[in-house]
A and B are shown apart, each in its own frame.
Chain A
């Protein structure tokens, strides 16, 4: 009987947690719609960067160059898109969140929101890339899958980095400094993995291994974020 009650209250707790996470998530989306200029700003950033590359290249790049350019652009887009997620929250608003929800709920909602934001940005930049710089990708669907996987990993890491950098002064530049060395291995994994979409032949099972490794790294980042964020949270 008692156990039953316990589980009911547990369910209640988790339902409440889910509810709070979704509420925070909705708030982020609402903010995004209210402050459309930041969203459009990032879109313009993507378009301008790709246009600069398009003009500076006399001809369409080959597959290897295209691939590395694409991922480097993803990295910078992510820095810009995710950076504001903690910087935009004013001190007063943070205090408010502090009183209504736990840090774990807060970071989870931020992670989910940033992943989705990053996925949208990645797909848009993929479209722009194929428009301006041709598309050497042979297996489009596979590449989109890889883009989703890679975008998730990058945005997860930079969410936590932006949480750290938000606490320091001169934070915008700090995110890149903090994040790049940490993201490098994942970026190398992803660049290697995306070569499957360029019809490069891999050893049996190597692709699955790469996907597995990337997912494990993502999982590690999420776990670390949940464990470490409460220490960043309180002031």
Chain B
């Protein structure tokens, strides 16, 4: 039980997120109105996804260094939960986009889809989709672990420059990105209201910890399942 303090932390942080996220005052902005509170939920999905993918990437490197089957299971399951977060982020983003950009700013859905952050997210999801397809196409366990670790490292290493490059190519509607070719797309920390930061950062940690918890559950299950293989 002493090792589960972070699970409790995750719970406490998420309760805090929901209570304060709905009740505290937020900046009054046009178009966004109350939907700005989605920041605590939708944006956290993306942050959680990136953190989980990073963990998966680290375990892939660890696998290639020692060929321990454990590390492959870790890499796979963190990637799976990361992809789940990514899909949730995509779905919630679609809902949010419908009431803000599509209806209020008269953007068409096709132009919204060309949004740099959406492209980056779509690339990330496609990459990990390919990763799972690749895993599925092997019958030999060692080979599967090794080849998919190579792909995971390669794809992840390519993903980061892409996320950095694409916003410089396409104009953005996202906050913190003053459109055009030369806008700096980085999320401007000073732009965010201090009150919102109070909730936003704990929310990221809370959601990510929940993701890690679910991933560890999946890992423990597959470790149990493959116990005979590992001990050999």
The verdict on A206 contacting chain B, using a C-beta distance below 8 Å, is: yes
B102: A residues at CB distance < 8 A: none
Q: How far is the CA of A167 from the CA of B139 in the complex (A)?
A: 11
Bitwise, A205-235 to B at CB < 8 A (1) or not (0) is 0100000010011001100100010011001
The verdict on B217 contacting chain A, using a C-beta distance below 8 Å, is: no
The verdict on A180 contacting chain B, using a C-beta distance below 8 Å, is: yes
Known: A168-B137, A168-B147. A228 touches B165 (CB 8 A): no
Contact A220 B161 (CB under 8 A): yes
Q: What's the interface size class on B, roughly?
A: 20 to 34
Contact B153 A181 (CB under 8 A): no
The verdict on A56 contacting chain B, using a C-beta distance below 8 Å, is: no
Contact B162 A184 (CB under 8 A): yes
Q: How far is the CA of A203 from the CA of B143 in the complex (A)?
A: 49
Q: How far is the CA of A171 from the CA of B147 in the complex (A)?
A: 13
Contact A185 B151 (CB under 8 A): no
Known: A177-B130, A188-B169. A182 touches B158 (CB 8 A): yes
A167: B residues at CB distance < 8 A: 138, 143, 147
In the complex formed, the residue of A with least CB distance to B127 is: A181
Contact B123 A185 (CB under 8 A): yes
Chain A proximity of B58: nearest CB distance (Å): 15
Known: A160-B154, A168-B134, A188-B169. A181 touches B146 (CB 8 A): no
CB contacts between A and B, total, < 8 Å: 83
Q: How far is the CA of A82 from the CA of B198 in the complex (A)?
A: 52
In the complex formed, the residue of A with least CB distance to B64 is: A231
By CB atoms of chain A within 10 A, which of B127, B146, B155, B162 has the most? Answer: B162
Contact B151 A164 (CB under 8 A): yes
Chain A proximity of B148: nearest CB distance (Å): 9
The verdict on A189 contacting chain B, using a C-beta distance below 8 Å, is: yes
Q: Give chain B interface residues in 134-180, CB to chain A under 8 Å.
A: 134, 137-139, 143, 146-147, 149-151, 153-155, 157-158, 161-162, 165-166, 169-170
By CB atoms of chain A within 10 A, which of B134, B150, B155 has the most? Answer: B150
The verdict on A192 contacting chain B, using a C-beta distance below 8 Å, is: yes
Contact B143 A206 (CB under 8 A): no
Q: How far is the CA of A152 from the CA of B147 in the complex (A)?
A: 24
The verdict on B12 contacting chain A, using a C-beta distance below 8 Å, is: no
The verdict on B133 contacting chain A, using a C-beta distance below 8 Å, is: yes
Bitwise, A166-188 to B at CB < 8 A (1) or not (0) is 01111100100110111011001
Contact B133 A174 (CB under 8 A): yes
In the complex formed, the residue of B with least CB distance to A188 is: B169
Contact A192 B169 (CB under 8 A): yes
Q: How far is the CA of A182 from the CA of B162 in the complex (A)?
A: 9
Q: How far is the CA of A221 from the CA of B155 in the complex (A)?
A: 10
Contact A228 B169 (CB under 8 A): no
The verdict on B181 contacting chain A, using a C-beta distance below 8 Å, is: yes
Q: How far is the CA of A100 from the CA of B90 in the complex (A)?
A: 49
Q: How far is the CA of A67 from the CA of B137 in the complex (A)?
A: 35
The 5 closest A-B pairs by CB, nearest first: A185-B162, A181-B126, A168-B137, A181-B127, A177-B130
A178-B134, A203-B181, A217-B158 given. 14 additional CB < 8 A pairs?
A: A164-B147, A164-B154, A168-B134, A177-B133, A177-B134, A178-B151, A181-B123, A181-B127, A184-B119, A203-B182, A220-B161, A228-B153, A231-B149, A232-B146
Q: List 20 A-B contacts (CB under 8 A).
A: A167-B138, A168-B134, A168-B137, A168-B138, A169-B138, A170-B137, A174-B133, A177-B129, A181-B129, A181-B130, A182-B127, A182-B154, A182-B155, A189-B165, A220-B157, A220-B158, A224-B157, A228-B153, A228-B154, A232-B150
Spell out A's residues near B (CB within 8 Å).
160, 164, 167-171, 174, 177-178, 180-182, 184-185, 188-189, 192, 203, 206, 213, 216-217, 220-221, 224, 228, 231-232, 235
